[in-house]
Structure 1
Amino acid sequence: MDLLNAILVDDEVFTRKGLIKLIDWEACGFRIVAEGDNGEDALELIRSIRPDLVITDIRMPILDGLELIRQTVRDPGASPAFILISGYDDFKYAQQAVRYGVHDFILKPIDEGEFSDTLRRLGRRLRQEREAKEREERLQSGAMIEAIVTGAADEAFVAEWEKRLQLAPGENLYYLLAELNDGPGWPSSKDNGPFSRLGELVRETLRRLTGESRPFYVYEHRNRIGVIVPERALRPFGGKIRPFAEALVQSFQAGDGRLFVYVGRPVSRLSALREAYETAKETLPYKYVYDDSGIVIYGELGGQPVRYLGADQSLCGELLEHMEELRFDRLQATVDALFRDFRDKRCAPEAVKMNIDQCVLGMIRIIRGMDGDERALSCLEPMMSWHDSNLSLGGLKRLFTAFATECGRYIAELRKDRQKGGIQKIRAYIEEHYRENLSLKSIAAKFYINPVYLGQLFKRTYGIYFNEFLLQLRVNEAKRLLRQTDLRVYEVAERVGFSNPDYFVTQFEKLERVTPGEYRSRLLKEGASDGTNR
């Protein structure tokens, strides 16, 4: 919880020190930032510190408590809450205090519990009022920026806001666009994590860096935050915009992601803010050129244009080939070369998008050509919508590499499935045509596959070599014919695919340990023997 600032005013030093020790200020939501021993000194403290709360005694020399409140109320720049402390139960004082809007009137001796409760209640009210004020300021400042950058603001409107900004004569204004990149999971919506509170995070960071008590005026663009940066905010950085931008990028406390900033040309009048905004927009195409720093400043571009043509077209072809061949080391090297080409050729984001989309569509075509479904890829959605997100060149490279690697692995799975289905078709073909003059080479030619690879695949799938499988089919059919027909051996050999009867006999005997004739004779003997026993 952010502590509220309070100052303590009493002409008796022992009373002040005793009160500081008596109350657990932080537990009540406050911290004592200054002390005063008279009303005049307290008035100067109020004007310089702008505290949230003033705790003052009524009776003091030079300027009493009520007069201190009265003069403070007249100052439009100061609006602290007041708690009056008095050793006298004076109804008139209490009445006057109420007229000035004093929060509470506390009698001495002070009761610790009562005073602590008063502080807690006041702290809750002040925070609610602060939040409401900040919400109102955000709405008003957003409307102001929009009116000026769109040319809808008249002179009176601009003059009023120049007073609010408290601009010194001739003080330069910068318009800065802040963009959060590489959020978790590459979200496509700014309503995710730090994206949804980017404006407040930028405000907090700027206050911390500059020590500026006056607010920074912020406007929410579609996926960026626009900030008016007055020249006075650059004083801690030697009046220079680059060290200011570097400190903003380095100190940004988003928890994740990278902050990119784009800075337009400085202008000396609020009415010229549109020019500052338009020149800030002109720096956006240079995003990937300055990916290392994340800072693009209009005045430093030097007239060097970005390119809207893509990178080396051959790299996409190489990338697809390495992906299909599962050569992930070469795939990574090609991705590195592609993204190096983007940077070296000063490619605009639109050119990068064209090349990336071309490669992605090539991968999807390969998957579909293998009867795959690209929707099975976990990286598909972020890859297809990456240009709707804020990604640095490095973040895009990581996403693209992950997508290409996942595509390669999916293609390998599809290839295995196709091979499994293909070998089943080959087996079915062999079982149907085993009576013909088959060979591994002829089958491989028919199915457009390397014969050596086919032999290996057949053995790996079925645990038996092709020639052994073919011989088994033929011998099994020969045994059936020998059992069920009176065909001669040479006729059986011809029926099962052997053109040479002697070779048939040799192969049959090799597998069954008997010749075809012996096999038939044994069947006849067993049949006769069985009939005799009956």
Structure 2
Amino acid sequence: MFKVILVDDEMFTRKGLIKLIDWEACGFEVVGEADNGEDALELIGSIQPDLVITDIRMPVLDGLELIRRVTEEGDADPVFIILSGYDDFNYAQKAVRYGVHDFILKPIDEIEFTETLQALTIKLARDQEDRSIKDNLLTGAMIETLILDHPDDAFLAEWEDRLMLKEVNGLYYMFAELNDIHLSTEDGMSPSLSGFREILQRTLQRITGGGQPFYLHEHRNRVGFIIPDSMLQPFQGKIRPFAEVLLQQLRNECGFRIFLYAGCKVGCLTDIRDSYRSAKEALQYKYVHDDTGIVIHDEGSMQALQYMSLDDKLYSQLVEQIEEMASENLDKTIDEIFDNFRDKCYAPEAVKTNIHQCVTMIVRIIHEMDGDEQEITTLEMLLDWHDLNLSLSELRRIFMTFAEESGRYMAKLRKRQQSGDIPKIRSYIEANYQENISLKSIAAAFYINPVYLGQVFKKTYGMYFNDFLQQLRVNEAKRLLRQTDLRIYEVAERVGFGNSDYFVTRFEKIEGVTPSEYRNSLIKGGSPKGRLNET
């Protein structure tokens, strides 16, 4: 909501205007009133409103003089709308000269005034967005110059002044990182990086009382900012208590896991790049501090990072438990893997490599079982997780879900193998029915007991193997009788019947007519007599 102040020496006019307009629907909130220009000037300076609606004729300081003073002398930059009971062109001319947004005559028309406010809301929102973009670009250039370049004394002096850092004795560079946002619902509840930046800005201002300017910079998928030690006085002058309060308030507002990484303390803005670099080093210890979400470089917890592979025994144990669907033991093994990542200080890159190794082994087994790894719904996220900001606990949850889903899929593949892969067998029959095939020969080709195959085939398709095969052959024979002039014995040979008499017998039993009768009826232009015409 944009803030608005009403200035008019008539109280009833102010109160009437408050009741007349649906300010909230127009995007505004009335935050103050004044009955003369002098009080209004003080109010504008303290509240910094977005809009001032003022009368022209007022005691002490009239409306135009108020606008002139604010425009030429004040730090505030509100938009002005003038109200007047006088249709005076001179006033309008002067108002335009001071950049007044609109000049509205009393008595006020509710519809006209509402439309003016709604249009102004759109303009203010656009101006606010433009300023935000400009500030972000300016801040980004400043931060990058400080941390990547060697700025000159004039540049440093300017930004020490802007950031109010001339009197400080120490500075820290800190990263704030939003994690696990993929857990948000599909209705867009998770904040974007720019949205998180705005939340962080508000939280920093709230914690520090609003007296310290903070310039935030987006570093790829996290936000960086400078903390002067003067802001740490309410926290015993220490960075960790400050980080704990900041972290808790951010979590309360965002509802997601937040990680904070503080670089080393430096003496002045000139050396802030050293704090920035050490904050980047702190990022590598994220998984070691998954429980707290805070990594402080100066606390001396930067032990040597590990880049080694997990014990081969753990890999083998993991795969065996996935295949056996031993959930309780699998849970313990995955706990052991992730405990290793944390307790032995694995670098994020090493965690990535070991997770990839586990996934590769599981996918290879699925391939060996003639499965398709794309059936595993969690695979894509597990392959791309390093592009997200994930806490170690959330990565463990995703990996556990993947392992359990893989185990269920492998069981499904085993069941399909044990049933002889009936769909493949059917496809084989449909492709080779004209050959001298039998239940026994197919069972041998697929390494299945023929009796078991016959039972599973009947259960799956509702007919015995021989009936299915003969139906395929008769259907093809009918096509040949309709579309070719092959002799009956030639048709029998083409569809897999070695004996033409047996072919005729089976054809008649299935169709109710002999092959010759079927063809002759088609030649005469009639419908074949037999089962096709039975009701």
TM-score (norm: length of structure 1) = 0.71
77-86 vs 163-172, which moves further: 163-172
Q: What is the aligned counterpart of 1:242 among 240, 243, 254?
A: 240
1:21–1:385 distance in 2 versus 1, CA, 3 Å: closer
Q: Deviations over 1:257-285 (max 9, x none)?
A: 42222122344533332122112101111
Work out whether residues 183 and 256 of structure 1, in 8 Å CA contact, stay in contact via their aligned partners in 2: no
Instruction: Confirm or deny that 1:414 pairs with 2:413.
Output: yes
1:344-371 Cα deviation digits (max 9, x unpaired): 2232223322332332222233333334
- Match of residue 296 from structure 2: 297
Task: Output the CA distance in 2 between the equivalents of 1:25 and 1:339.
Answer: 55
Quick one: distance in 2 between partners of 1:360 and 1:101? 65
CA distance in 1 between counterparts of 2:363 and 2:302 reads: 39
Residue 143 of structure 2: aligned partner: 145
Partner in structure 2 of residue 488 of structure 1: none
Which residues in structure 2 correspond to 1:347-496 (within 5 Å)? 347-421=346-420
1:69-80 map, 5 Å = 69-75=67-73, 77-80=75-78
Shift in Å at residue 254 of structure 1?
7.7
Q: What secondary structure is seen at the aligned counterpart in 2 of 1:8? A: strand
- For 2:246 and 2:55, locate their aligned partners in 1 and report how far apart those are by CA, in whole Å: 43
- Residue in 1 aligned with 2:118? 120
Cα distance, 1:152 vs structure 2: 5.1
Structure 1 residue matching 2:226: 3-state secondary structure: strand
Distance change >3 Å, CA 458–CA 76, structure 1 → 2 = farther
CA distance in 2: counterparts of 1:94 and 1:230, whole angstroms: 48
Q: Distance in 2 between matches of 1:91 and 1:126?
A: 27
Aligned residue in 1 for 2:210: 212
1:32 and 2:30 equivalent? Answer: yes
Provide Cα deviations, 1:225-280, integer angstroms capped at 9, x if missing partner.
22334556667767654344334433437866422221223445333321221121
CA gap of 1:112–1:421, structure 2 versus 1, over 3 A, is closer
C-alpha change, 1:83 and 1:331, in structure 2 (3 Å) is same
Give the deviation of 1:208 after TM superposition: 5.5
* C-alpha contact (below 8 Å) 2:52/2:81 kept by paired residues: yes
TM-fit CA distance, 1:100: 1.3
* 2:52 paired residue number: 54
Aligned to 1:107: 105
Q: Do 2:168 and 2:229's aligned partners in 1 also have CA atoms closer than 8 Å?
A: no
20, 23, 31: which one pairs with 1:22?
20
Q: Secondary structure at the match of 1:184?
A: helix
- Give, in whole Å, the separation in 1 of the partners of 2:407 and 2:346: 27
193 and 124 in structure 1: CA distance in 2 versus 1, 3 angstrom threshold? closer
Deviation, 1:56, is: 2.3
TM-score (normalised: structure 2): 0.71
Amino acid at match of 2:18: I
Q: Which residue of 2 aligns with 1:344?
A: 343
Cα pair 2:305 2:345 within 8 Å, conserved? yes
Change (3 A) 1:121 1:421: closer
Q: What does residue 323 of structure 2 align with?
A: 324
SS of the counterpart of 1:93?
Answer: helix
Q: Secondary structure at the match of 1:27?
A: helix
Match of 1:334 in 2: 333
Q: How does 1:190-201 map to 2 (within 5 A)?
A: 194-195=192-193, 197-201=195-199
- Paired with 1:182 and 1:394, the residues of 2 have a C-alpha distance of 10
What amino acid does structure 2 have at the position aligned with 1:27? A
Q: CA distance change for structure 1 residues 173 and 40 in 2, over 3 Å: closer, same or farther?
A: farther
Task: Return the alpha-carbon distance in structure 2 between the equivalents of residues 328 and 392 of structure 1.
Answer: 23
- Answer yes or no: is the 8 Å Cα contact 2:180–2:257 preserved in 1: yes
Quick one: distance in 2 between partners of 1:230 and 1:408? 52
Deviates more, 1:321-330 or 1:263-272: 263-272
Q: Which structure 2 residue ranges, 5 or more long, are not aligned?
A: 426-436, 457-535
Letter in 1 for 2:272: L
Q: For 1:354 and 1:89, how far apart are their aligned partners in 2?
A: 77
Say whether the 8 Å CA contact 1:184–1:257 is kept in structure 2: no
Shift of 1:134: 0.7
Look up the SS of the partner of 2:24 in the other structure: coil
Q: Distance in 2 between matches of 1:392 and 1:103?
A: 50
Aligned residue for 2:272? Answer: 273
Match of 1:135? 133
Give the conservation status (yes or no) of the 8 Å contact 1:186–1:391.
no
CA contact (8 A) 2:193 2:222 kept: no
Q: Which moved more, 1:280-289 or 1:67-76?
A: 67-76
Are positions 1:287 and 2:276 aligned together?
Answer: no
Corresponding residue of 1:258 = 257
Deviates more, 1:46-55 or 1:231-240: 231-240
1:81 aligns with 79
Q: Per-residue deviation at 1:92?
A: 3.0
2:56, 2:84 within 8 Å by CA — same for their partners in 1? yes
> Separation in 1 of the partners of 2:233 and 2:62?
38
Deviation at 1:136, TM superposition (A): 1.0
Alignment partner, residue 159 of structure 2: 161
| Shift in alpha-carbon separation, 1:332–1:307, aligned structure 2, 3 A | same
- Asked if the contact 1:186/1:389 (under 8 Å) is kept, the reply is no
Match of 2:223 in 1: 225
Q: Secondary structure at 2:408's aligned position in 1? A: helix
CA contact (8 A) 2:164 2:213 kept: no
Q: What is aligned with 2:525?
A: none
Query: How far apart are the structure 1 equivalents of 2:197 and 2:439?
Result: 71
Residue 11 of structure 2 aligns with an amino acid whose one-letter code is V
Aligned AA (1:299): D
Q: CA, structure 1 residues 421+321, in 2 after alignment: closer, same or farther (shift >3 Å)? A: same
Decide whether the 8 Å contact of 2:303 with 2:345 is kept in 1. no
Q: Is the 8 A contact 1:310 1:351 kept in 2?
A: yes
In structure 1, the partner of 2:94 is 96
- CA offset digits 1:421-470 (Å, max 9, x no partner): 49999xx99968xxxxxxxxxx9xxx9xxxxxx9xx99876669xxxxxx
* Superposition deviation, residue 171 in structure 1: 6.4
Q: How far apart, CA to CA, are the structure 1 residues paired with 2:230 and 2:51?
A: 27
Alignment match, 1:179: 177
Q: Which runs of 5+ in 1 are unaligned?
A: 433-442, 448-453, 465-534
> Which residue identity is paired with 1:361?
T
TM-aligned CA deviation for residue 46 of structure 1:
1.6
Q: What fraction of aligned residue pairs are identical, expressed as a percent?
A: 53
Cα distance change of structure 1 residues 185 and 28 upon mapping to structure 2, 3 Å threshold: closer
Q: How many residues align?
A: 435
Q: 2:420, 2:453 within 8 Å by CA — same for their partners in 1?
A: no
* AA of the residue aligned to 2:210: E
Task: State the distance in 1 between where 2:350 and 2:184 align.
Answer: 20
| Structure 2 letter corresponding to 1:341 | N
Contact in 2 for aligned 1:150/1:274 (Cα 8 Å): yes
- Supply the distance in 2 between the matched residues of 1:460 and 1:408 (Cα, whole angstroms): 26
Q: Which residue of 1 aligns with 2:306?
A: 307
Cα gap change, 1:390 to 1:62, in 2 (>3 Å): same
Counterpart of 1:331, as a letter, is: L
- What's 2:8 paired with? 10
Cα separation, 2, equivalents of 1:25 and 1:14 = 17
Cα gap change, 1:266 to 1:12, in 2 (>3 Å): farther
8 Å CA contact 2:179–2:259 kept in 1: the answer is yes
Between structure 1 and structure 2, the one with the greater Rg is: 1
CA distance in 1, matches of 2:384, 2:302: 31
